[in-house]
């Protein structure tokens, strides 16, 4: 059933005027003939009612918003599904009619807002999000098109169509990220589980746009924009923006969710404090320039496509800290291979060959008298036993007691029995000087080969006429 002015929806709501038309549905102004009040009726297009995921998402919007009561959230009054004359399902959502215009229309007309007006919008939106976050609901699609502004300045959050609730069943297909790329948080763009801090990031992007007249991250494709959210710092705000306001927005745009405001309430409180002349929050955000192009519609982005487009960022990618980990079914699969690659045995063989070469060189150096006293009599050489261990960092400790030298090699994963080398005491006829001991330790270690330690002990006779050292 195609709605038009004068149509009666579900026998109760009389359609009076069109409000907006989107990709998934239409929004109409209507009159509730039972209660005699003006409402907004959001109707899902018939081609989507046959898709279980779209229909369930529409139902979730009704359930999520119906449980939220706040001055900065557009209320939901009713939800229904009826059959039209052709037997097709018609799903509709009846909500509070907000007289005013979306923030996106204001920005299209005015380009930028003053810092004072921006702080007021951010504070009101943050307070509305606070109510949702306390109820365990994350909006996931905060953007100017989903904020209605009344003539008296009151801001209302709308469109919880892709909101996530902690007690809801997963709806998003595996391998997809749902949201608007220009406002996605880095963790949302990567497919990690969203939190209240994810909405804070999106609200920070909105605040940046209000102050600068453009979004901090844009590109020639949705995937490129999502990657910029993950890897790039935001460009600097205009110099005319006061430092406390700049610090507020930069903190909201931190790549690490733990470095942002914890939720909408904390963001709103900070915005109110700055608006009252207080200091801005501490932040260590950095900036870089990104050219601006592109639109801002809600999309589903494949993670695999994003992964394939990561070549050649203008700045070094910033490593994301550990988040909450990808949830089951609801978000993006890992970009890593399904199975870890097996390690080739050849590095171990090559490492063993290097060890043998080093040991041979040490032995040759010793046997050929590689020192100041070539072929000196009374020399005792004891090669160390080579022990292979897994690739770890080894610490060698040398302890000398009396005339014996003990070398111990310690490993993080494996401990080698101590190796003891005992040298023969000097001849009894030698009285002028004690035996001098020279110990050479050669260690070779790489990240993919075992660590090997070779020890060589050489005893030399004292020089003629030498004195006994203390």
Which residues are part of the catalytic machinery? 141
- Count CB atoms within 10 A of the CB of residue 406: 14
3-state secondary structure of 232: coil
What's the DSSP call for residue 228?
Answer: H
Over the Cα atoms of the chain, what is R_g? Answer: 36
Confirm if 45 and 26 have CB atoms less than 8 A apart: yes
- Count CB atoms within 10 A of the CB of residue 50: 10
Alpha-carbon distance of 174 to 301, in angstroms, equals 11
Q: Which of 57, 45, 123 is nearest to 84 (CA)?
A: 45
User: Which structure tokens are listed for 62?
Assistant: 């009704």
Residue for token pair 């209507």: 30
Alpha-carbon distance of 402 to 391, in angstroms, equals 34
User: Which structure tokens are listed for 221?
Assistant: 């494709």
Q: Which of 438, 312, 336 is nearest to 382 (CA)?
A: 438
Q: In the Cβ-directed half-sphere of 156, how many Cα atoms lie within 13 Å?
A: 23
The CA dihedral of 194, 197, 201, 206, to the nearest 10 degrees, is: 100
Q: Can you state the angle between helices 115-134 and 196-212, rounded to 10 degrees?
A: 170
- Count CB atoms within 10 A of the CB of residue 293: 13
- Count CB atoms within 10 A of the CB of residue 202: 29
Confirm if 237 and 208 have CB atoms less than 8 A apart: yes
Confirm if 389 and 403 have CB atoms less than 8 A apart: no
Q: Can you state the angle between helices 196-212 and 103-110, rounded to 10 degrees?
A: 20
What's the DSSP call for residue 182?
Answer: G
């Amino acid at each position: 059933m195609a709605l038009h002015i004068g149509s009666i929806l579900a026998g109760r709501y009389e359609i009076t005027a069109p409000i907006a038309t989107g990709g998934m549905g239409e929004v109409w102004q209507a009159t509730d003939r039972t209660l005699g009040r003006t409402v907004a009726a959001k109707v899902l297009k018939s081609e989507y009612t046959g898709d279980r995921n779209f229909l369930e998402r529409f139902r979730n919007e009704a359930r999520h918003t119906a449980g939220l009561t706040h001055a900065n959230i557009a209320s939901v009054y009713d939800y229904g599904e009826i059959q039209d004359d052709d037997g097709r399902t018609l799903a509709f959502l009846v909500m509070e009619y907000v007289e005013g215009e979306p923030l996106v229309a204001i920005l299209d007309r005015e380009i930028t807002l003053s810092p004072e007006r921006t702080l007021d919008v951010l504070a009101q939106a943050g307070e509305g999000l606070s109510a949702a976050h306390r109820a365990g609901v994350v909006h996931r699609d905060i953007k100017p098109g989903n904020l209605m502004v009344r003539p008296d300045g009151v801001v209302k959050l709308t469109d919880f169509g892709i909101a996530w609730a902690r007690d809801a069943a997963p709806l998003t297909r595996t391998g997809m990220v749902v949201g608007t790329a220009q406002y996605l948080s880095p963790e949302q763009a990567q497919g990690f589980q969203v939190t209240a801090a994810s909405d804070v990031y999106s609200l920070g992007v909105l605040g940046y746009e209000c102050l600068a007249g453009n979004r901090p991250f844009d590109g020639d494709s949705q995937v490129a924009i999502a990657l910029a959210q993950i890897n790039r710092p935001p460009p600097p705000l205009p110099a005319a923006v006061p430092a406390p306001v700049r610090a507020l927005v930069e903190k909201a745009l931190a790549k690490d969710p733990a470095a942002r405001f914890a939720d909408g309430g904390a963001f709103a409180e900070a915005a109110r404090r700055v608006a009252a002349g207080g200091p801005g929050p501490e932040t260590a955000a950095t900036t870089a320039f990104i050219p601006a192009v592109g639109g801002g519609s809600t999309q589903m982005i494949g993670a695999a496509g994003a992964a394939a487009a990561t070549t050649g960022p203008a700045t070094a990618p910033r490593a994301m800290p550990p988040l909450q980990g990808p949830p089951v079914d609801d978000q993006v699969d890992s970009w890593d291979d399904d199975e870890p690659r097996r390690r080739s045995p050849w590095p171990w063989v090559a490492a063993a060959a290097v060890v043998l070469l080093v040991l041979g060189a040490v032995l040759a150096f010793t046997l050929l008298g590689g020192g100041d006293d070539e072929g000196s009599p009374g020399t005792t050489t004891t090669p160390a036993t080579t022990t292979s261990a897994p690739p770890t960092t080894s610490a060698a400790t040398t302890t000398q007691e009396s005339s014996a030298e003990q070398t111990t090699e310690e490993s993080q994963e494996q401990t080698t029995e101590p190796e003891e080398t005992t040298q023969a005491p000097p001849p009894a006829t030698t009285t002028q000087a004690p035996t001098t001991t020279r110990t050479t330790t050669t260690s070779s270690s790489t990240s993919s080969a075992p660590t090997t330690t070779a020890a060589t002990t050489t005893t030399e006779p004292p020089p003629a006429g030498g004195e006994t050292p203390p």
